[in-house]
Structure 1
């Protein structure tokens, strides 16, 4: 079966600064790849390349003709004063339909299913401005799923999300992975190592590890330095900052 997307010997730069060099990555159906790396290592640039938001300096990007991408960015910018409802925000993610076009019965049913998952089944018409940061992140996840993508890209998806929903989110991702490939970006190794199938460390280049078992030694060999931080009483392994991007 043809891969959903394949990056071949990709390099990328901003002005005269190269941030990614000679990157190879293949994403197949039902892959679940954790993208880790220090801040400034090139994770965001990698996503921009896949999403056609940045032009590579060199190399090739091959995409399947039926590739459908759902994307949940780390930070969603929306004017909370804008008079738009939760339902309308989700429907704005329809890839083949202008957001102001009337939704089909199938699309409205999909909205109902997604809202039920996040516990908002009775809040279709709630203004987006009344939501907390975590609640808004849940709605934008639904927006990323409304067009039933075969590749879901999540950039630090637990941003602003409370711990209860974070656990539910990871159960959802396991179910979604039966239907689609997932790229999950995080700098917290412990957060994703128990979920993903394989891991790629991005730090100027890309080192693919065909396992979710990541030891400190492996990270060091990939030039992905780690440090231990504590959230309350729980220690987390996270990637240290890098000095570019």
Structure 2
């Protein structure tokens, strides 16, 4: 799945004192964050906190207006967008949608036997092998997410970026996606995802980056999902309980958007 090895001490992508904004509106301010090989990080924060913009800096589709973003030589990166940004009426099947993510060597109708076999293997692994001939609009939310994971994996990345991968899916699908990502990470794939779901997703990840334009905290959930950090990031007082060693936010964060932080 991965390409040439990179030293475990060499960041895949190193963001150093990066700032970015639109007009006079600052989206990121003096952000530093390094993605290490094999790391699994959740970027947490409400809408408008800069999560997606930070992913774009890691991906290279945006460049910082101040600071720098440095990538390891030859590092391969794949990206899974938010499902609601996709045109699901585009006339394409699951197989062809996944094939379209491969480097353009020939038109899709002339995809090689080896390429189609590779796509079939990835779909099999993700549990959607029987959906290859189906139109993408006929998929459930969980199946759509698995299809985009397949698109990402056939590129054989060393780093996988996902924007709100469990947004809009049911609890069962959320758990399935989380376990699948955990399996991929155990195989050595570095994963960075964004989420505002503290209880359903973030609390189960090994490393979190709490973001509100700037980095508020970084570390394991036990150090990031704490009252002071949650209040500064989400602009609301939240009670944090411990359940089986996992921090649990008592109040729902599902509909939280950017609010002025408490002084």
Please say whether Structure 1 and Structure 2 have the same fold, judged by a TM-score greater than 0.5: yes
Aligned to 1:225: 235
Aligned to 1:231: none
Aligned to 1:52: 60
Instruction: Give the RMSD, CA atoms, in angstroms.
Output: 2.5
* Distance (whole Å) between structure 2 residues aligned to residue 132 and residue 39 of structure 1: 25
Structure that is richer in helix per residue:
2
Aligned to 2:193: 184
Match of 1:17 among 4, 25, 49: 25
* Distance (whole Å) between structure 2 residues aligned to residue 128 and residue 180 of structure 1: 26
- Residues 156 and 236 of structure 1, relative CA distance in 2, 3 Å threshold: farther
For structure 1, the residue ranges without an aligned partner over 5 or more in a row are 229-233
- Residues 17 and 238 of structure 1, relative CA distance in 2, 3 Å threshold: same
TM alignment of 1:41-190, pairs within 5 A: 41-74=49-82, 75-80=84-89, 82-94=90-102, 96-98=103-105, 100-101=107-108, 102-178=110-186, 179-190=188-199
Aligned to 2:257: 241
| Superimposed CA distance per residue, residues 213-236 of structure 1 (whole angstroms, 9 cap, x where no aligned partner) | 2333242475443577xxxxx966
Residue 206 of structure 1 aligns to a residue whose secondary structure is: strand
Tell me, yes or no, if the aligned pair for 2:18 and 2:29 is still in contact at 8 Å: yes
When the two structures are aligned, how many residues end up with a matched partner? 237
* Distance (whole Å) between structure 1 residues aligned to residue 18 and residue 104 of structure 2: 32
Once structures 1 and 2 are overlaid, which stretch shifts more, 167-176 or 112-121? 112-121
For structure 2, the residue ranges without an aligned partner over 5 or more in a row are 1-6, 239-248
* Distance (whole Å) between structure 2 residues aligned to residue 187 and residue 220 of structure 1: 11
